[in-house]
Amino acid sequence: MRKSIVIIFIVSLIVFSFSKAVFSSSNKELNGYNKEILDISNILINKHKIDSNYVKKALGSIKFRQKTLNSMTNAPERKATWERYKNIFITKERIDKGIKYHRENYKALKEIENKYGVPSEVIVAILGVETKYGKGTGNVKVLDSLGTLALKHPRRSKFFKAQLISFIILTYKNNLDYNQIYGSYAGAMGAPQFMPESYIKLGVDYNNDGKVDLWNSKYDIYASIANYLNKKGWEKNQKIYTDIVIKKKYIKEIFEAGDVRTVAIDNDRLKKIIFKSKDIGSGKKYLALLSKKNKKYKLVNNNFKIIMTYNISTFYAMVVANLSKEIAAGT
């Protein structure tokens, strides 16, 4: 037993010493984060079998971006009212471009819709909100964004650490240059703005060319968005939201805990607080509370919550829903 313990200790010491030697980086910006860097490198090398020199160079290339941390703090979802947020994304220009885009790519979009059960207008609306239909995929080096957030974000470093690990795996296995991949300040990539983990797990090589290309291949882009929503639990032929009118005496009550929230509500309670609605649909119901001040709310369902997995924001899901409705009406 003592012999086994000694052997395990020696092996562990060798692995630790090897990893430490690999990450004696000359990048002064990484000073003070030795333990975090070592943890990430160990996972990449020992668990995912990524070449140690590749890992050293990738992690040693990280440049911290204070702007990234500032952007996370000042994201529109955090600061804006519903009215301001809506006015950013639901404009005549964005609606018109969405209708035009939908018409021009109708055949491909409908093929993807038929396969995955996700409406084509929802796919286009996500592209419209995320990157103005693929025109603005981001100009921040993804390695720097994810490195900054993995090491410095006060609350979500664990999430971004996983994304940084996935990003390095993605570039290594697909022969991509980690110094030439640009995206959002949060590390999202391509026309649909996938995080690296989603890129690996849910990206689709629809045209079977041996790679998932979320920048240039429309089929890969559409299929990846549809596959993402489908795998998260999208329910076919279900409305995203319904307009309802809540009785005046219950308005204060529904906003008791504030707004910018999506809260579950059971059918019995719903029937009690609303005036009769012809079509509230079946399945789970939620109230999307948009503005306490202006008494703005919608009745939403499971598909609304699925959109929120793309961006965990009630405002975001509602502008996607609104934009998709405008695109469908104009096509």
For 282-317, what is each residue's pLDDT tens digit? 678 999 999 999 999 999 999 999 999 999 999 999
Which backbone phi and psi does 129 adopt, to 5 degrees?
A: -75, -40
pLDDT at 261: 93
pLDDT at 77: 64
182 inside domain: no
DSSP result, 198-249: HHHHH---TT-SSS--TTT-HHHHHHHHHHHHHHHT--TT--SEE---B-HH
170 inside domain: no
The pLDDT tens digits for 43-67 are: 999 999 999 999 999 999 999 999 9
114 inside domain: no
Q: In terms of residue numbers, what domain contains 281?
A: 241-330
326 inside domain: yes
Mean pLDDT for 2-29 is 47
CA–CA separation, 261 and 297 (whole Å): 10
Instruction: Spell out a b/e string for 132-159, using b for 16 or more CB atoms within 10 Å of the CB, else e.
Output: bbbeebbebbbbbbbbbbbbbbeeeeee
Does the pLDDT at position 76 exceed 80? no
189 inside domain: no
256 inside domain: yes
The count of structural domains within the chain is 1
The verdict on pTM exceeding 0.75 is: yes
Mean pLDDT for 183-209 is 97
104 inside domain: no
**What are the distances in angstroms from CA 205 to CA 216, 223, 226, 320?**
12, 8, 13, 25
- Pairing type for strands 140-141 and 182-183 reads antiparallel
The pLDDT tens digits for 223-241 are: 999 999 999 999 998 989 9
307 inside domain: yes
